Amino acid sequence: MKETKSAAVPKKKWKLRDFRGFFFILPWMIGFFTLQLYPFLASLYYSFTSFSILGTPKFVGLSNYIRLFTIDPDFKKSLMVTFEYALIEVPCKLLFALIIALILNIKIKGINAFRTLYYIPSILGGSVAVSALWRLMFMNDGILNKLLNLAGIPSVSWLGSAGTAMFVICLLQVWQFGSSMVLFLAALKQIPQDLYESASIDGAGPFTKFFYITLPMITSIVFFNLIMQTINSLQNFTSAFVITNGGPLKSTYLIGMKLYTEGFNNFKMGYACAISWVLFGVILVLTLLVFKSSDAWVYYEDGGDF
Amino acid sequence: MKKMYRAASLILAGVMTASLAACGGSSGQTAATTAAPDAAEAAPETEAASEAETEAPADEEPVTLRFSWWGNDARHEKTIKVIEMYQELHPNVTIEAEYRGQSEREKIATELGSGTAADILQLNPPWMGDFVNNGDFFVDLSQYNFDVEGFDEKLINDYCIYNDTLITLPSGLNARCFLVNKTKADELGIAADMDTAWTWEDVIEIGKTVNETNPDMYFLNADKHEMVEFVMRPFIIQKTGQFLISDDYEMGFTRDDLVEALDYISRLYSSGAAAPAAEANVFLNSSWTNPDWINGDLVTTLSWTSLLEGATGDSEFEFVTTQLPMRETVLDTSTVVKPSQLYAITKTCENPDVAADFLNFLLTDVEAGKVLGDCRSVPPYKAVQDACMEAGVLSENVITATQYAQSTAGLYENTASVNEEIASILEDAVEVVSYDPSQVEAAADQALVLIEDVLSSLQ
């Protein structure tokens, strides 16, 4: 059957006009090849070389990777810091986004204005200016300590001690909950109202409804947000760089900062590329694990098939 | 329930708008401050352009050059003024000013690597090791008619010639200095002037008293970077009398030397002589902007004369410089006079002869020198220096500190000793002991392993 079908299709002669589709996606393709694929492959090659930005790369085999896992004490430290950061930041952000989404899901007057307001931090958040602002807010003479003093509480050295510095950079990320919130909000709107109605008739309270209807119904969006936010937080750089500069005692020395320092301060671009490939591997494995686990906890109304 | 939600949203929204208002205010302010110099720059340029139309000789081709530097507002304004003076004399030449607030080595490195650097660059002397070892980026300046004799010979030999080629010229004479807030020192009963010669132990003793008198005050304002540059390096070099790292990348100190230096630094912190690391390192590379320094709670700082004016210019206090702290016995004073910055012309420049002519004007023209004053510390060219002294455009403190440093100058700073990667390893060690004095030995061992690793890759 298969053979007769393929035999029946005449061999297609490609004409120029058949390629016009490519013309329309050309802008994207140029961007993809030059700004994504090329750097991606080039960095893989560089990771096997000794390459300062100023000179030409020299092939050194696996020695960059070997140095990472043997001599370099900062690499392990920064990996641990990054995991710690992601473990605190991602759950806090998702929880916060979900709570705000639940609040904004109520039908009240002017709700759209509130929704817009809550999204604004996400637009501002990634910038250096806001990070600098946070540094000013949390420094020893910053507004936060002034407020604490007014309330009779002694100043806290937010950026000067390890635990609180990590808290500050996590908080900056959690504050940018907007995009997760919008997705949660959309998911909440999708939940059929009749489920809640029948639950009410059966005598379910708000908490029972939340845990037995709302949460299961939005697991697909929880899953999506979890993946995206995990990837984002593992790649984070700006907040640590601008607010704490990795300190104190490298307690906020995220892998993104380590990568930057090696590449642009120490001019070891090959080494920095090796770090980025290890980071890529870590993200890949974590994402696959989350995907694997999703069968057990994510609910799709259509069964989840593509 | 609905009401509760509504109230909650309202409160949260209030918090949001409040925080937004705060953001808006600060960004508005920065916009205003950055816009101002631009406007100031734009106006005279158009003037110069209209003059150009009337005066430009027909046979000279229009040339555009890019000149990049960093510094504070005063330096920007003065340099732009000199550019305008040059453009008036040479109407066919347009010089595009590219200036910024911080030195940003990585920006220049990437630009050099990609061939997009400006034609005339202001460079930091410690960068030169990396730049020269990794490529051939700068034009040989000896082929143009610079009056090299007019500059300090040591400065040219130690800092401007690489691989036997003159590729840079100094922008100013920069000296290590110990800056004291005289107003506060007087209040505390600390005598400080150019005759004051403190030992390192004196610094701890005085610092201890200051902190005991007023627990909010500290004697020394230094971040971890300055601790390495102005305390650790001199402390070791004064003992060993040789480069920290030799030109062929051998270590010029032993483990004991490093342990001793780290121990001293940890005592600076534990005695309360130095501002706590947790506070000082928040203002890494900008310790002048620490509010405690501005309001006088930090009494002294170790720095370079080229930064002096920017740091004290707007202050309500009076400042003096003193001699640098020394050991009891000293093999080398470790007092350094070096170029504030270096000027170089990049090989990608299409009109290197015009660039050289402008550079010559910038460095050796007396009128230009008077405009620039001490915005890059003391002018390096003798004739300009004399004219500026006569005209009184140099700050008293800058002159005394420079003269003191010149009379006591020791070893120069070779590029290996100021290697950025080694500096950051030492900074990490300093940070460790600043938090925990018991870690001195461990921090030294860790640093030595890493320094040896870096040196082996450089050798």
Q: Is B139 helix (H, G, I), strand (E, B) or coil?
A: coil
Nearest to B125 by CA among B90, B87, B155: B155
Q: Is B313 helix (H, G, I), strand (E, B) or coil?
A: coil
Residue B277 contacts A, CB cutoff 8 Å? yes
Whether residue A125 is predicted with pLDDT greater than 70 in this model: the reply is no
B271: number of Cβ within 10 Å: 17
Q: How confident is the model over A191-232, as pLDDT tens digits?
A: 999 999 999 999 999 999 999 999 999 999 999 999 999 999
Where do the domains of chain B lie? 39-167+342-375, 174-338+401-458
Rounded to a whole number of angstroms, the distance from the CA of B261 to the nearest CA of chain A is: 19
Residue B191 contacts A, CB cutoff 8 Å? no
Set of chain B residues whose Cβ sits within 8 Å of the Cβ of A139: 282
**CB-based burial label for B350 (10 Å; 0-12, 13-18, 19+):** exposed
Q: How many A×B Cβ pairs under 8 Å?
A: 103
Rounded to a whole number of angstroms, the distance from the CA of A285 to the nearest CA of chain B is: 31
Residue B452 contacts A, CB cutoff 8 Å? no
B193-to-A171, B190, B307, B319 alpha-carbon distances in Å: 47, 10, 19, 10
Q: How would you classify residue A245: left for phi > 0, otherwise alpha for psi between -120 and 50, otherwise beta?
A: left
- Model confidence band, residue A64 (pLDDT cutoffs 50, 70, 90): very high
Q: What is the CB-side half-sphere exposure of residue A91 using CA atoms within 13 A?
A: 5
> Using an 8 Å Cβ cutoff, are B447 and B426 in contact?
yes
> Using an 8 Å Cβ cutoff, are A185 and A103 in contact?
no
Interface of B with A in 127-146 (CB under 8 A): 130-131, 134-135, 137
> Using an 8 Å Cβ cutoff, are A93 and A184 in contact?
no
| A47-61 mean pLDDT | 89
Rounded to a whole number of angstroms, the distance from the CA of B274 to the nearest CA of chain A is: 15
Interface touch A265/B5, C-beta < 8 Å: no
Angle between helix axes A178-190 and A219-234 (nearest 10 degrees) is: 170
For chain A, the distance separating the N- and C-terminal CA atoms, rounded to the nearest angstrom, is 27
Set of chain B residues whose Cβ sits within 8 Å of the Cβ of A161: 278
pLDDT less than 50: residues of chain B: 1, 16-58
DSSP state at residue A251: T
Q: How confident is the model over A21-37, as pLDDT tens digits?
A: 888 999 999 999 999 99
Rounded to a whole number of angstroms, the distance from the CA of B139 to the nearest CA of chain A is: 16
Nearest to A54 among B23, B131, B282 (CB): B131
Interface touch A129/B453, C-beta < 8 Å: no
Q: Is B198 helix (H, G, I), strand (E, B) or coil?
A: coil
Interface touch A245/B284, C-beta < 8 Å: yes
E-strand stretches of A48-118: 49-50, 58-59
Set of chain B residues whose Cβ sits within 8 Å of the Cβ of A157: 278-279
**Omega prior to A248 cis, within 30 of 0:** yes
Neighbouring residues of B452: CB distance < 8 A, sequence distance ≥ 6? B251
pLDDT of residue A61: 92
DSSP state at residue B377: B
- Share the mean pLDDT of chain A: 88
Q: How many residues does chain B have?
A: 459
pLDDT of residue B383: 93
Interface touch B277/A267, C-beta < 8 Å: no
Cα distance between residue B228 and residue B17, in whole Å: 44
Interface touch B1/A120, C-beta < 8 Å: no
Residue by residue, DSSP assigns B234-292 as HHHHHHH-S-SB-TTS-B-S-HHHHHHHHHHHHHHHHTT-BPPHHHHGGGTT-GGG-HH
Nearest to B368 by CA among B1, B38, B84: B84
Please give the structure tokens belonging to residue B386. Answer: 């004399």
Nearest to B16 among A117, A129, A267 (CB): A117
A34: number of Cβ within 10 Å: 10
Is the ipTM value over 0.85, yes or no? no
Nearest to B240 by CA among B255, B221, B228, B225: B255
Cα distance between residue B422 and residue B453, in whole Å: 10
Whether residue A74 is predicted with pLDDT greater than 50 in this model: the reply is yes
Nearest to A157 among B134, B278, B424 (CB): B278
Set of chain A residues whose Cβ sits within 8 Å of the Cβ of B130: 52, 54, 267
Cα distance between residue B153 and residue B159, in whole Å: 10
Q: Which amino acid is at A195?
A: L
Residue B30 contacts A, CB cutoff 8 Å? yes
Set of chain A residues whose Cβ sits within 8 Å of the Cβ of B106: 264-265
Q: How confident is the model over A255-287, as pLDDT tens digits?
A: 999 999 999 888 899 999 999 999 999 999 999
Residue B6 contacts A, CB cutoff 8 Å? yes
Interface touch B23/A129, C-beta < 8 Å: yes
Residue B445 contacts A, CB cutoff 8 Å? no
Q: What is the dihedral of CA B161, B167, B168, B169, to 10 degrees?
A: 80
Nearest to A53 among B109, B284, B292 (CB): B109
Cα distance between residue A98 and residue A274, in whole Å: 37
Residue by residue, DSSP assigns B13-57 as HHHHHHHHHHHHHHHHHHHHHHHHHHHHHHHHHHHHHHHHHHH--
Residue A39 contacts B, CB cutoff 8 Å? no
A290: number of Cβ within 10 Å: 14
Interface of B with A in 161-180 (CB under 8 A): none
Set of chain B residues whose Cβ sits within 8 Å of the Cβ of A131: none
Q: Which of A103, A143, A267 is the mutation pick for testing B, counting most B CBs within 10 A?
A: A267
Please give the structure tokens belonging to residue A281. Answer: 């591997």
Tell me which chain B residue has its CA closest to the CA of residue A51.
B134
Helices (H) and strands (E) counted in chain A, each on its own, are: 18, 2
Residues pairing with B177 in the sheet: B303
CATH topology of domain B174-338+401-458: D-Maltodextrin-Binding Protein; domain 2 (3.40.190)
Set of chain B residues whose Cβ sits within 8 Å of the Cβ of A52: 130, 134
Q: Which amino acid is at A237?
A: F
**What kind of architecture, by CATH, is found in domain B39-167+342-375?**
3-Layer(aba) Sandwich (3.40)
Residue A210 contacts B, CB cutoff 8 Å? no
DSSP state at residue A201: H
Set of chain A residues whose Cβ sits within 8 Å of the Cβ of B418: none
Q: Which of B6, B9, B457 is the mutation pick for testing A, counting most A CBs within 10 A?
A: B9
How far does Cα A191 stand from its chain's mean position? Answer: 26
Residue located via tokens 């593992």: A234
Q: What domains sit in chain A, N to C, each tagged with a CATH number?
A: 73-297 (1.10.3720.10)
Q: Is B65 helix (H, G, I), strand (E, B) or coil?
A: strand
> Using an 8 Å Cβ cutoff, are B283 and B290 in contact?
yes
